[in-house]
């Protein structure tokens, strides 16, 4: 869940220990061998990714360095369950899929994945189905403020009703007197960590990721949902190898009205949001353009030494092209069309997937699997 303090600077988290990273990949392979997850890794050869879900489970960069702390103990097994939001697709844990009642003893806790401001995240398996999940444990004492409660309620309500291959699933939730438990799809990798290692992505990998995310945004737009915080830190890679959009802490359901709230991460804010003007889902299209630039050049296009300079460059859409690495003119053309200051002239999502650069560079098998 995101912080409620407005636009934030991003931090650069450190790599997880190799043993944890390898364990996550091994868990994914075991789960696939047991038939717990459908799908397959796409043919495009990609380097191994790092353990994820820690940030998707609530630990989110906000400009402050988080101290390294010992892993918290796994929660005990004596919680009373309540009815969960029924999942609607795929390998959801069977009891939740039947609209039943979950309790903590229905899950086998494996190990901690991470911890954040509001609680901890654990790798777990639902005993009845054997499904591998990320169990996010939120302490009620940490969400006593009304704003935080409303934000968490909205995040759960929105994400639990989303059903798309490129969006991280929330299978349901339950709670006891002290804690709230969110049952999330387990993802094996965090895209931000991989981008930090690789520095930049190739045009082929970038096109595949951009096309996959465009599909997810098409789905969100049809559901009248604006994510409002799209960035590499909120993108994971699932056990099925697909890109997963996560962390809906700043998301909003806006079927009719435009919004005015200034929120998200500074480097990804759109010009209309910076100017304090009403906005709609086109701000997510702008963020897609920022993402594409960062995939190819290794940093956001308007990143500057101080906040005011960044705000100015965003307002003016001061787009500059580094000499290295060299990218194709077709890639620059798509970035320009996504980073158009006027939201009404921004490239529609339908045209993103059909853009010549996407068609020439993406891995079609990955996109076909998500349709």
Q: Binding residue per annotation — 69?
A: no
Spatial distance between the Cα atoms of 295 and 290, rounded to a whole number of angstroms: 9
Q: Which of 27, 51, 106, 229 is catalytic?
A: 229
Spatial distance between the Cα atoms of 44 and 103, rounded to a whole number of angstroms: 40
Q: Binding residue per annotation — 233?
A: yes
User: In what helix (H) or strand (E) does residue 209 lie, and over which residues does it extend?
Assistant: helix 203-222
Q: Binding residue per annotation — 126?
A: no
Q: Binding residue per annotation — 65?
A: no
- Cα angle 68, 159, 264 (rounded to 5 degrees) comes to 60
Residue 317, Cα to own-chain centre: how many angstroms? 25
Closest CA to 191 of 56, 1, 62: 56
Structure tokens at 230: 């799209």
Closest CA to 162 of 147, 184, 189: 184
- C-beta of residue 281 within 8 angstroms of C-beta of residue 226: yes
321 Rama class: left (phi>0) / alpha (psi -120 to 50) / beta: beta
Question: Is position 229 annotated as part of the catalytic site?
Answer: yes
Spatial distance between the Cα atoms of 149 and 142, rounded to a whole number of angstroms: 10
Q: Binding residue per annotation — 244?
A: no
Q: Binding residue per annotation — 247?
A: yes
Q: Binding residue per annotation — 185?
A: yes
Closest CA to 80 of 178, 182, 185: 178
The residues, any chain, with a CB within 8 Å of residue 139's CB and separated by 6 or more, are 118, 119, 178, 179
Q: Binding residue per annotation — 117?
A: yes
- C-beta of residue 107 within 8 angstroms of C-beta of residue 127: yes
Q: Binding residue per annotation — 120?
A: no
Burial 35-44 (b: 16+ CB within 10 A, else e): ebbebebbee
Q: What is the DSSP string of 43-68?
A: SS--------STTTTT----SSPPPP
Q: Where is the binding site for ATP, in residues? A: 117, 136, 140, 185-187, 233-234, 247
Q: Where is the binding site, in residues? A: 117, 136, 140, 185-187, 233-234, 247
Q: Which residues are catalytic?
A: 229
């Amino acid at each position: 869940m995101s912080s409620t303090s407005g636009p934030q600077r991003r931090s650069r988290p450190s790599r997880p220990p190799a043993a944890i990273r390898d364990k996550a990949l091994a868990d994914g392979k075991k789960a696939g061998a047991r038939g717990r997850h459908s799908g397959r890794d796409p043919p495009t050869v990609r380097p191994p990714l790092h353990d994820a879900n820690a940030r998707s489970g609530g630990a989110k960069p906000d400009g402050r360095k988080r101290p390294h702390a010992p892993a918290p103990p796994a929660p005990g097994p004596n919680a009373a369950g309540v009815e969960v939001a029924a999942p609607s697709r795929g390998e959801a844990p069977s009891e939740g899929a039947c609209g039943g009642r979950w309790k903590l003893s229905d899950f086998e806790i494996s190990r901690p994945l991470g911890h954040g401001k509001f609680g901890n995240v654990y790798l777990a398996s639902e005993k009845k189905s054997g499904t591998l999940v990320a169990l996010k444990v939120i302490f009620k004492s940490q969400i006593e403020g009304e704003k935080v409660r409303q934000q968490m309620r909205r995040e759960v309500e929105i994400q639990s009703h989303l059903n798309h291959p490129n969006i991280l699933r929330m299978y349901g939730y339950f709670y006891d007197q002290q804690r709230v438990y969110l049952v999330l799809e387990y993802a094996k990798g965090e895209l931000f960590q991989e981008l930090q290692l690789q520095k930049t992505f190739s045009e082929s990998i970038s096109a595949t990721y951009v096309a996959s995310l465009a599909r997810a945004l098409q789905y969100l737009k049809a559901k009248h949902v604006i994510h409002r915080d799209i960035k590499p830190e909120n993108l994971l890679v699932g056990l099925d190898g697909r890109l997963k959009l996560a962390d809906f802490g700043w998301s909003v359901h806006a079927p009719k009205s435009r919004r005015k709230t200034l929120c998200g991460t500074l480097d990804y804010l759109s010009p209309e949001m910076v100017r304090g003007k009403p906005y709609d889902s086109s701000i997510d299209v702008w963020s897609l353009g920022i993402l594409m630039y960062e995939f190819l050049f290794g940093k956001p296009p308007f990143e500057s030494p101080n906040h005011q300079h960044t705000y100015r460059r965003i307002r003016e859409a001061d787009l500059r092209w580094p000499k290295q690495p060299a990218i194709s003119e077709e890639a620059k053309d798509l970035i320009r069309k996504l980073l158009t200051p006027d939201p009404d002239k921004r490239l529609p999502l339908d045209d993103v997937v059909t853009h010549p650069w996407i068609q020439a560079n993406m891995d079609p098998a990955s996109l076909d699997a998500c349709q």
